[in-house]
Structure 1
Amino acid sequence: MEKIAKIFEVELIYYDNSPFSDNEERVVFLNRHEEKVSQRMIFFHELCHVIRHSGDQRWMPSLFKEAQEYDADRFALYSALPFFILKSITLPERKGESIGYIAHTFRVPLYFAKKRFEQIEERITQNKLLFALDAAVSTFLSLFNPKQIEVYLLEVIKLKPASELITDVKKTSNALMD
């Protein structure tokens, strides 16, 4: 944490009270009695406030404060467990063992490692689905000539030609202006 704080030119102070940060002074305060694993998560959360946010949360509207807290939580997740490092390590085959390995290696709580692992797993699944969908559409389109595709779009899906869509937009715009 000290090295990361130094890189971002943030002062890191350990003291005996609740953690917080001061983005104007570029300082993160951590409770010296907190477990190291928890300190690490809190550090990344507070670091986000210092390097990405402005203003004093004590005086800002609740929705703005909630947005900053959401951003700081996500920042902590990404910075404590960066994908570019995770993808470079060999993980055990079982999900539970992988999560435990990540938690131990990166010194983060198990729930945190699980959340990041599942987030990456979901993104990989989405990418596989998009790739499969793209391949299916490409295969489908390769089976037909352009005229057949046009007929399909116009008659089966009932997609209007571009010229008709433009006319409809103009009519709607004019009706709104009247």
Structure 2
Amino acid sequence: MEIEKTRSTIEEHVRDLYHRLEITEPWQIDRFEISRKMNIDLHCSDKGSRAFRIGDWECVILHRGLSEQELHAEFFHELAHICSHTGVQHRMPKYLYDYQEWRAEAFMLHCLAPTFMLLKDGMPRSENEALYLLCERYNICEDHARKRYRMLVS
């Protein structure tokens, strides 16, 4: 399958972030190493996932009850908030909250399976083979693989 070669802003942001962190292969996409390199405290809690910044201190808290793949994805969703968003979500109008969540979801999907890596790897022609590759090589759940695949082919 031929992947579109024009890049969105999110794709460029993820590519630049990964290059700055010297991440070039799917096995290097690791929340512990990324948070260390970015100087972001990473913790788990029973109270749900969230991210916040106080001055120069940044923290991502992940819900302890999630599977490994869900933790992996949730980290990137919360990282999007650290990288791109400011303010307290519960104080903003719903349309801004919804927009931030939509962007965080898109950022997360691009971080899980970055376009620049997919271009290098190539994608199988069949959807089932592509989903298998995304799940196995990028260690993501089938739902996220399907969403990412649909982003690529639309």
Normalising by structure 1, what TM-score?
0.63
Structure 1's 91 and 22: CA in aligned 2 closer, same or farther, altered over 3 A?
same
Alpha-carbon separation, structure 2, partners of 1:90 and 1:48: 26
Q: CA deviation at 1:90?
A: 4.7
Larger Rg: 1
Partner residue in 2 for 1:67: 99
Alpha-carbon separation, structure 1, partners of 2:103 and 2:43: 23
Aligned residue among 77, 80, 83 for 1:51: 83
* CA offset digits 1:49-73 (Å, max 9, x no partner): 0111100112112111111111101
Identity %: 25
* CA offset digits 1:71-115 (Å, max 9, x no partner): 101110111110111122254442202212211221111121112
Partner residue in 1 for 2:32: 2
Partner residue in 1 for 2:17: none
Structure 1 gaps, min length 5: 123-178
Please say if residues 23 and 53 of structure 1, whose CA atoms lie closer than 8 Å, have aligned partners that are also in contact: no
Structure 2 gaps, min length 5: 1-30
- Note the aligned Cα RMSD (angstroms): 1.5
| Structure 1 residue ranges, 4+ long, deviating more than 6 angstroms after superposition | none
Aligned residue among 102, 126, 148 for 1:94: 126
Alpha-carbon separation, structure 2, partners of 1:43 and 1:73: 11
Alpha-carbon separation, structure 2, partners of 1:90 and 1:63: 37
Question: Helix, strand or coil: the match of 1:55?
Answer: coil
Please say if residues 41 and 80 of structure 1, whose CA atoms lie closer than 8 Å, have aligned partners that are also in contact: yes
Structure having the higher strand fraction is 2
Q: Relative contact order (C-alpha < 8 Å, sep 6+): which is higher?
A: 2
